Protein backbone atom coordinates (compact mmCIF):
# COMPACT_ATOMS: atom_id res chain seq x y z
CA UNK A 1 0.00 0.00 0.00
CA UNK A 2 1.31 3.47 -0.91
CA UNK A 3 0.09 6.87 0.24
CA UNK A 4 -0.55 9.64 -2.27
CA UNK A 5 -0.67 13.22 -1.01
CA UNK A 6 -1.76 16.28 -2.96
CA UNK A 7 0.00 19.54 -2.19
CA UNK A 8 -1.00 23.14 -2.74
CA UNK A 9 -4.29 24.13 -4.34
CA UNK A 10 -5.30 20.66 -5.51
CA UNK A 11 -7.42 20.39 -2.37
CA UNK A 12 -7.74 16.61 -2.14
CA UNK A 13 -7.21 14.53 0.98
CA UNK A 14 -4.42 11.93 0.87
CA UNK A 15 -5.37 8.48 -0.40
CA UNK A 16 -3.89 5.03 0.04
CA UNK A 17 -3.84 2.52 -2.78
CA UNK A 18 -2.28 -0.67 -4.02
CA UNK A 19 0.20 0.06 -6.82
CA UNK A 20 3.35 -1.59 -8.16
CA UNK A 21 4.62 1.38 -10.21
CA UNK A 22 4.00 5.09 -10.60
CA UNK A 23 2.16 4.23 -13.82
CA UNK A 24 -0.36 2.26 -11.73
CA UNK A 25 -0.84 5.31 -9.50
CA UNK A 26 -1.35 7.54 -12.52
CA UNK A 27 -4.03 5.26 -13.99
CA UNK A 28 -5.93 5.15 -10.71
CA UNK A 29 -5.72 8.90 -10.14
CA UNK A 30 -6.91 9.70 -13.68
CA UNK A 31 -10.17 7.90 -12.87
CA UNK A 32 -11.06 10.94 -10.74
CA UNK A 33 -11.98 13.74 -13.15
CA UNK A 34 -11.23 16.44 -10.55
CA UNK A 35 -7.62 15.16 -10.34
CA UNK A 36 -7.13 14.40 -14.03
CA UNK A 37 -6.94 18.10 -14.88
CA UNK A 38 -3.97 18.52 -12.53
CA UNK A 39 -1.90 15.44 -13.28
CA UNK A 40 -0.33 16.51 -16.58
CA UNK A 41 0.85 19.77 -15.00
CA UNK A 42 2.25 18.41 -11.74
CA UNK A 43 5.64 17.18 -10.64
CA UNK A 44 5.90 13.98 -8.60
CA UNK A 45 8.06 13.17 -5.60
CA UNK A 46 8.61 9.70 -4.20
CA UNK A 47 9.63 9.79 -0.54
CA UNK A 48 10.72 13.45 -1.00
CA UNK A 49 12.81 12.75 -4.13
CA UNK A 50 11.64 14.14 -7.46
CA UNK A 51 10.92 11.44 -10.07
CA UNK A 52 9.66 11.46 -13.64
CA UNK A 53 9.84 7.82 -14.68
CA UNK A 54 6.41 6.15 -14.53
CA UNK A 55 8.08 2.72 -14.52
CA UNK A 56 9.52 3.46 -11.07
CA UNK A 57 8.78 0.46 -8.84
CA UNK A 58 7.04 1.23 -5.56
CA UNK A 59 7.49 -0.40 -2.16
CA UNK A 60 4.90 -0.89 0.55
CA UNK A 61 4.77 2.29 2.64
CA UNK A 62 6.09 4.64 -0.04
CA UNK A 63 4.78 8.22 -0.02
CA UNK A 64 4.01 9.89 -3.34
CA UNK A 65 3.55 13.66 -3.41
CA UNK A 66 1.74 15.37 -6.27
CA UNK A 67 3.18 18.88 -6.62
CA UNK A 68 1.26 21.45 -8.68
CA UNK A 69 3.13 24.16 -10.58
CA UNK A 70 3.79 27.34 -8.63
CA UNK A 71 4.99 30.78 -9.45
CA UNK A 72 6.28 33.55 -7.29
CA UNK A 73 8.13 36.73 -7.33
- Domain of 25, CATH number, reads 3.10.20.30
Could you list the pLDDT tens digit for every one of the 73 residues in the chain? 999 999 988 889 999 999 999 999 999 999 998 888 888 889 999 999 999 999 999 999 999 999 998 755 5
Q: How many domains does the chain have?
A: 1
**Partners of 49 in the beta sheet?**
46
pLDDT of residue 7: 92
Locate the DSSP E strands across the chain.
Answer: 2-6, 15-17, 43-46, 49-51, 63-67
User: What number of CA atoms fall less than 13 Å from residue 55's CA on the CB side?
Assistant: 0
The predicted structure's pLDDT at residue 73: 53
* Residue 57 to residues 11, 20, 34, 69, Cα–Cα distance (Å): 26, 6, 26, 24
Residue 71: predicted pLDDT: 56
Containing domain of residue 56, as a range? 2-67
73 domain-assigned:
no
Phi, psi of 3 (to 5 degrees): -110, 130
Q: Is residue 72 part of a domain?
A: no
Q: What is the pLDDT, as a whole number, of residue 70? A: 77
Amino acid sequence: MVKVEFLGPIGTVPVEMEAETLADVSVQLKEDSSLAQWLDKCAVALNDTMVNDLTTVLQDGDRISILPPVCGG
